[in-house]
């Protein structure tokens, strides 16, 4: 029998990620009982039908009672209030983590809301799809994906052991676990995930607003690239609104650099500077080939593929 790491786990917010955490934990045998709190009554019914949870409630305090691990899987701006609602009824020595796509502001909110008796270990699984809700989850979501933990600056043994237990929990779900400073996480994700989503939202909006080109033409003649943008731009509006507001500084920093580079490109096009365009396109092709050669990616493009899209 697989060794149980957490006899009781509470998941707060049981949508795509929360329900995948439960499925993966059940499949790997890392948890005993599972309690769920979700604000959405329809989702609570779906979770009951899926049969993965021992307790399903709309009250966060009720769900966290007696839990050894609490996983907050609500939208980023709801993390702080959810932690506040959990605080009074947490078991001393419980580990509290989250799966939010932004770490700096969430880590700060959790540290403020939760008592010293809890081990707070913020986290982010770089895995997901553009679907939402409990029915969209699946146990293999985290396999061979990165989970980044951004532990607090504590060095006492009980805390370090709690961090290691959580790392083991994710490893048993098939994930590769990394540890990182929260601010660095937010900058990295601003480049690799947040800016690409902003570009997708913007380009689909621009195409939709064009009067000279009809919506039917956009869909009819869109090649793979634009289709991928439309899929990414269909990602959950609440989740992405929260990500941009919560990671404002890093996104604006990266957006500033991106805009400067775009200006340089537009200048090269305007003045017919083909050499500059060719040089950039060759450089970016080499970067892509280098990634493929290093074995980090298949040669097949997977930007926005249904399963395993990161955010």
Residues that bind ligand NAP in the complex, under the rule CB under 6 A? 12-18, 37-40, 43, 73-76, 78, 82, 99-101, 125, 128-129, 132-133, 236, 239, 243, 311
Handedness of CA 16, 11, 79, 248 (dihedral sign): negative
Q: Which is nearer to ligand NAP, 38 or 68 (CB)?
A: 38
Asked whether the beta carbons of 6 and 31 are under 8 A apart, the reply is yes
Q: Which is nearer to ligand NAP, 100 or 207 (CB)?
A: 100
Please state, in angstroms and rounded to a whole number, the distance separating the CA atoms of residues 60 and 110. 15
Q: How far is the CB of 93 from ligand NAP (least distance, A)?
A: 24
Q: Which is nearer to ligand NAP, 13 or 304 (CB)?
A: 13
Q: How far is the CB of 290 from ligand NAP (least distance, A)?
A: 26
Please state, in angstroms and rounded to a whole number, the distance separating the CA atoms of residues 152 and 46. 35
Q: Which residue has the tokens 């983590």?
A: 97
Q: Which is nearer to ligand NAP, 76 or 200 (CB)?
A: 76
Q: Which is nearer to ligand NAP, 130 or 207 (CB)?
A: 130
Radius of gyration of the CA atoms of the chain, in A: 21
Please state, in angstroms and rounded to a whole number, the distance separating the CA atoms of residues 246 and 44. 27
Q: How far is the CB of 306 from ligand NAP (least distance, A)?
A: 11
Asked whether the beta carbons of 86 and 60 are under 8 A apart, the reply is yes
Q: How far is the CB of 196 from ligand NAP (least distance, A)?
A: 13
Please state, in angstroms and rounded to a whole number, the distance separating the CA atoms of residues 265 and 263. 5
Q: How far is the CB of 219 from ligand NAP (least distance, A)?
A: 24
């Amino acid at each position: 029998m697989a060794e149980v790491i957490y006899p009781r786990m509470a998941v707060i917010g049981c949508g795509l990620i929360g329900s995948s955490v439960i499925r993966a934990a059940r499949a790997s045998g890392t948890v005993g009982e599972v309690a769920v709190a979700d604000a959405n009554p329809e989702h609570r019914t779906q979770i009951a039908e899926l049969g993965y949870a021992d307790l399903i409630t709309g009250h966060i305090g009720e769900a966290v009672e007696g839990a050894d691990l609490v996983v907050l899987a609500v939208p980023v701006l709801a993390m702080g209030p959810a932690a506040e609602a959990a605080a009074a009824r947490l078991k001393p020595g419980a580990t509290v983590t989250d799966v939010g796509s932004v770490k700096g502001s969430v880590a700060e909110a959790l540290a403020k809301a939760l008592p010293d008796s809890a081990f707070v270990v913020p986290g982010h699984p770089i895995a997901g799809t553009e679907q939402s809700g409990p029915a969209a989850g699946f146990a293999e979501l985290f396999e061979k994906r990165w989970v980044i933990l951004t532990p607090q600056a504590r060095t006492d043994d009980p805390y370090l052991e709690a961090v290691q237990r959580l790392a083991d929990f994710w490893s048993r779900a098939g994930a590769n676990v990394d540890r990182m400073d929260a601010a660095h996480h937010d900058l990295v994700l601003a480049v690799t995930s947040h800016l690409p989503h902003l570009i997708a939202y913007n380009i689909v909006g621009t195409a939709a607003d064009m009067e000279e080109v009809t919506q039917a033409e956009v869909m009819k003649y869109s090649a793979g690239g634009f289709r991928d943008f439309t899929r990414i731009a269909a990602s959950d509006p609440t989740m992405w609104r929260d990500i941009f507001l919560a990671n404002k500084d890093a996104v604006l920093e990266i957006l500033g650099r991106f805009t400067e580079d775009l200006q340089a490109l537009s200048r090269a096009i305007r003045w017919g500077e083909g050499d500059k365009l060719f040089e950039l396109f060759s450089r970016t092709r080499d970067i892509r080939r280098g990634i493929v050669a290093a074995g980090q990616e298949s040669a097949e493009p997977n930007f926005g593929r249904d399963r395993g899209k990161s955010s």
